[in-house]
Chain A
Amino acid sequence: MEGEDTFLNSMRDAYRRSRESIPGPAPAEPACPSLPRMAQAAADGWQPDELAHVAGCPRCQQIMAAEFRIECPGFAVLAHFAAGDSPFAAALGRHLEEDCDGRCRRRLQSPWLQAAAAMLRTGTLAENVFQESMRHLAISDVHLAAAPAFLRLGGETPIQVHAVGPDGLIAVTLKQEGPQLLAYVESPSTSLAGHTVMVELLGQTRQLRVPVILRMVDGVGAFGSHSFGDLAALTADLGPDCEILAILDR
């Protein structure tokens, strides 16, 4: 009978040999960006030659799928996917199929995103104009699932979400008032009075889209609102999780 140390040492030796017999990684193609470069590019932007390579490289697509598993892609990436010209198509397809909790699928159904994708496809929307438009985009998750129970309890305001666009020009608040769900859009800029903000509620099964026209308020900003109607009916219609999106319509 072997002593415990002898047995363990022989097992450790076997484990080490087993590890050493694992094949090394498949060699990357010369044009494959390094992992550090991919992480940097995913955060800061890609060079055109990198994108051209990544689009057709299974290894790079696999790494991008890992990136999307860590952090869902933004609207720009989704819009190009919807437009059919995404360099990350395979990675995104996999993300949508395997990893995403539904948010990206909901966003792909956004009427605004689909319209942008159609214009990107036909070349009627320039990339820089599209990127600029997203500075006026405010978006937030909304969990409608708890609403009916809160409604039965009465007196509570369980739903109140607020989102501000990157440039601070557009803010949207979704708020439950009694049995109704209302969206309030505001801007600190009086120059936006008379402009339209498109407000969308993106549900799992349905998307609602309404135009909200901003009015001047006491010279301090611009304001508009819309009632989406009965919250219980909306919850049944949209599903328990949705997002509210507001974007300046220009």
Chain B
Amino acid sequence: MSDAPILQYYAGSDDAFAEIYSQWWRRLVHFLMTLGAPWHLAEELAQEALYRIVRTRVKGSRYEPAMGTFDGWILMVARNLWMDHLRRKSRRPREETVHHEDAVDGAFLADAAQPARQEADLLARETSRRLRELLTQLPPEQREALILHDFEGLSYREAAAILDIPQGTVVSRRELGLSKLRASWSEGEVRERVAL
């Protein structure tokens, strides 16, 4: 997504924010879920990320094109919220947790009530479910590098800025993650063929 809507929003257009909201809601919720957030928490953090973006017109540091792409900026805001949540949670170990896949399935079950969704391709849905499952099995640092670069489309430089690590570390983590993802994927396919 270009940075035009946020700059229009800063110039006073609330409609431009509505465009940002509609384009980013699902993307942020999904991004946070693939990082490990349960569905309802992912929704709450996505809402907070969007509120933080909104708030920069009134207070705080605004996005500027010199900082990198808007995509990288908003994903960094969302990822930081997730990390803050994990830090808070580590201080309150008794907090109830929801298993990631249960939550994802919960999202899809809720979504199944929407008629348009009922026509979705079951095979594609199963492929997506498997991908999410395999992503959650990757070590978090490899998962983040892979998601940011390969699935969210950020450059290595942008991913490195978000993760606060050297660019070369992003490259090596991403390669390790991709290699493990591919191995797990192939393993699953072999198991399915044997089962047939």
Contacts and interface: CB of A to CB of B under 8 A. Distances in A.
Interface string A43-83: 11000000000000000001100110111000000000000
Interface residues of A, number: 35
Contact of B47 (A10, A24, A63): A63
B99 interface: no
Contacts of B108: 21
A35 interface: yes
Chain B, interface SS category: helix
A15 B151 contact: yes
A73 to B, nearest CB: 14
Interface string B23-61: 001110110011000000001100110111011011110
A18 B185 contact: no
Chain A, interface SS category: helix
Interface string A26-53: 0000000011101110111000000000
Nearest to A23: B111
B25 A25 contact: yes
A10 B181 CA distance: 12
Interface of B: 9, 14, 17, 21, 25-27, 29-30, 33-34, 43-44, 47-48, 50-52, 54-55, 57-60, 88, 92, 107-108, 110-111, 114, 117, 120, 124-125, 127-132, 150-151, 178, 181-182, 185
8 contacts: A21-B117, A35-B17, A35-B54, A36-B57, A42-B55, A62-B44, A66-B51, A67-B55
Interface of A: 4, 7-8, 10-12, 14-15, 17-25, 34-36, 38-40, 42-44, 62-63, 66-67, 69-71, 98-99
